[in-house]
Structure formats: C-alpha cells, structure tokens
Amino acid sequence: MNNQEELPIFLRPVDDGLPMRESGQWARNKLDILARYIRTSTIAMQDKPWRRRFYIDLQAGPGKNYVGEQLNQVFLGSPLLALTEGAGYTDYRFVELDATLANALIQRCDVVDQDATRHIKVVIGDCNQVVYQIVDEINSIDRPPFNSTDWNCLSLAFLDPEGLELQWETVLKLASLRRTDIVINFSIGGLRRTAGEALESPVSPIGERVDRFFGSHDWSQIPLHSDGSMPAYEWIEFYKRRLAAATQPAYQWGTDISVKNSRGVELYRLLFASKHELGVKLWEDARKNAPIQRSLF
C-alpha cells in the first residue's frame, strides 16, 4: 500500500478542485472491500508469467467521491484505488459515459507515470459498447502459442452501475475471456424501482431494460413473496446460475456482501465470480473483518 502523503494531490483522498461524485457512506464501505481484494490478489498474483494483467472499470466515474455535502470527507473511487493499490496491473481500462466525470479522471490519471509496463486508458462512452473493444484487445494479446513461462492475461473487472444500465451481454462478453475475475454491484434498489412496472408492462422501455439486465424475460417467472415483496434473493441466484451455466469453465461465486444505507435498507449486493478456486479464496480473505454489513440471507 502506498504512503498517501507521498502521492500527488490528484491521487490522494482530498479535494483537488476537480469534479467529484457525491456518495453515501455505504459507497465508501463498498470500495473498502474492493481495495482489500485488489491488495490481496496483487500480492498473490505477482511474479507469475501472465502476459498482461488488466484492471477493467466499466463505470469508473471521476476517481474521487465525497460523503453527502461534506467536501472534507473525500475518498478514492475505484479507478484511483486500483492505481494506488494494484501495483501488479500492467493495464487499466476505465470507461465513463459522462464526459465531465471522465475528463476529471483523465486529469487525475495523467499524474501517474506510464511506461512500457503500465498503461492507462480512459474511454468516454457507453460501457455496453466499449466492452467489445476491451475484450478484443485482450483476446489479441492472448493468441497462442503458450508455454510454461507464458500465461494468458489475467483481468479483474469491476462493474458498478447505479441502476440497471449494465446489460447481461456486457457481463457475458467479459466472462468469455479466459481468466477474468468479476466484481458486480447488483442493484437491488434499481430492481425495486423498476420491477413492478416491468411486470405490469413487459413490452415497454422499462420492461425491456430489465430483460436486458437479466438477459432473459424468465426473471419475471419468479413469484413475489407471500407478503408482496420483491424476491431479491431469488433474482440474484437466478442471475448467478445463468452466468455459471454460460461460462466454461463455470464461474464459481464467493460470498455475497450486502450493502445498506443509514436506514438499514439494502441497496445492492457485491457479487464476486472467478473461474478459479484461488480467486474465490482471495475474495473470502479480503472480505473478512471488512467494515461492511454481511448478507441478509
């Protein structure tokens, strides 16, 4: 872990004058577990003969967040955490749809030394489209032949949508890579806001949006609970089963982490998937003793 005082101001959790994203305290907790996983996996995977190691962030934001209206409570977003904690990555691919936020991230990343072993790229665009460029780039590097001292690329993808804008086909495209661990922010709050209308009007923009999120309309066949509440746990298990069934080797899932707001309402789950049991072990190690609520189920 870097000494924060030795880093440029753009890479430290302080107000540097550039745009930041307003967040709740729960976002800070979520990013803490991500930072822990980045650190543990970096240590475990260093000195292995990977062709390259990619960190992929499809909804990267500006790189810094602050709590509520308190500009003195600044914390690093996922891109800057990866840059400051993930010394083992050779390539960083950040995607952000909002040009203002993306340009702030570009300015912050510009202070990082880049050479032949460390390459950072920020793309302004829709992650559901840009993902194809990223996967094609990694596949072009992963062309055979391979030998005992030349492994394929290893990647970590962090998928952190605010709602249901992350499409199933985007996740499936990333999952097609040989070695990619995935951390997914599964938005329970987003489903609560849209599922009712989607069930009533399946042939509508909202209905189609939920279908694109799940990659199927079959989610709607899962019944509501007897008290009329949304079957959040069942939807998550449906999502996980589908991704495991669609990948070879099948993704293995780590323990979900439930993230709640200050009123105790569950906002989303952090899901972790890896094609290798070591990835799951590192996730379990990283989440232990993290200052975050465990799953409600």
pLDDT digits (tens, 9 = 90+) for 48-88: 889 999 999 999 999 999 987 666 789 999 999 999 987 78
What does the pLDDT read at residue 4?
A: 61
Among 42-46, 97-101, 228-232, top mean pLDDT goes to 97-101
Neighbours of 231 (CB within 10 A): 16
Structure tokens at 92: 């960083």
pLDDT digits (tens, 9 = 90+) for 87-121: 789 999 999 999 999 999 999 999 987 776 689 99
Give the contacts of 106 (CB within 8 A, at least 6 positions apart): 122
CA proximity to 41, closest of 275, 284, 293: 284
What SS3 class is residue 283?
helix
Label residue 179 by pLDDT band (50, 70, 90): very high
Domain membership flag for residue 292: no
Task: Indicate the angle between helix axes 205-214 and 188-200, nearest 10 degrees.
Answer: 130
The total number of residues written for the chain in this structure = 297
For residues 192 and 186, is the Cβ–Cβ distance under 8 A? Answer: no
Q: Structurally, how many domains does the chain consist of?
A: 1
Q: Is the confidence at residue 35, as pLDDT, over 70? A: yes
In terms of Cβ atoms closer than 10 Å to its own Cβ (0-12, 13-18, 19+), residue 109 is buried
Domain membership flag for residue 120: yes
Give the CATH number of the domain where residue 264 resides: 3.40.50.150
Question: Does this model's pTM top 0.85?
Answer: yes
The larger pLDDT score, comparing residue 149 to residue 187, is at 187
Interatomic CA distance for residues 180 and 275, integer angstroms: 7
Interatomic CA distance for residues 122 and 262, integer angstroms: 33
Domain membership flag for residue 135: yes
- The answer to whether the peptide bond before residue 145 is cis (omega within 30 degrees of 0) is yes
Q: Is the confidence at residue 134, as pLDDT, over 90? A: yes
Label residue 148 by pLDDT band (50, 70, 90): low
Structure tokens at 61: 């934001």
Task: Indicate the angle between helix axes 232-245 and 168-175, nearest 10 degrees.
Answer: 40
For residues 94 and 123, is the Cβ–Cβ distance under 8 A? Answer: yes
Interatomic CA distance for residues 29 and 65, integer angstroms: 12
The larger pLDDT score, comparing residue 121 to residue 42, is at 121
Domain membership flag for residue 224: yes
What does the pLDDT read at residue 198?
A: 93
Domain membership flag for residue 294: no
pLDDT digits (tens, 9 = 90+) for 1-14: 455 667 899 999 99
Domain membership flag for residue 296: no
For the ranges 125-139, 222-236, 256-270, which has the lowest average pLDDT? Answer: 256-270
Domain membership flag for residue 243: yes
Q: Which domain holds residue 215?
A: 4-287
Domain membership flag for residue 228: yes
What does the pLDDT read at residue 102?
A: 98
Interatomic CA distance for residues 292 and 260, integer angstroms: 9
